[in-house]
């Protein structure tokens, strides 16, 4: 269900019904879950990495969890906030 463009149940990483997982992994972007998540060793909320490798760059994620959403300010785009 993470590949659905819209959802209100599959994930809380969404802005209203816009599935933000879909935005990050949709066809043509060649990204996977491990781009932002470390399922084995992250101590951060939602297993989100502090930094991710992006080509030769080591990009910070700068994720902040909030009660009904969150924000990130990575090196690849401006600060984004979302509310579900």
Rounded to whole angstroms, how far apart are CA atoms 3 and 80?
20
| Whether pLDDT at 8 is above 80 | yes
Angle, alpha carbons 42-80-62 (nearest 5°): 30
How many Cβ atoms are within 10 Å of 70's Cβ, its own excluded? 20
**Domain residue spans of the chain:** 14-83
Instruction: Detail the DSSP E strand segments found in 20-56.
Output: 51-54
pTM tops 0.85: no
14-43 confidence digits (pLDDT tens): 999 999 989 888 877 777 888 888 888 778
């Amino acid at each position: 269900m993470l590949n659905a463009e819209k959802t209100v149940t599959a994930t809380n990483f969404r802005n209203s019904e816009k599935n933000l997982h879909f935005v990050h992994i949709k066809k043509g972007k060649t990204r996977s879950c491990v781009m932002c998540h470390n399922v084995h060793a992250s101590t951060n909320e939602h297993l989100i990495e502090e930094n991710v490798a992006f080509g030769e760059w080591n990009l910070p994620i700068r994720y902040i969890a909030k009660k009904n959403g969150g924000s990130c300010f990575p090196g690849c785009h401006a600060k984004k906030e979302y509310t579900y």
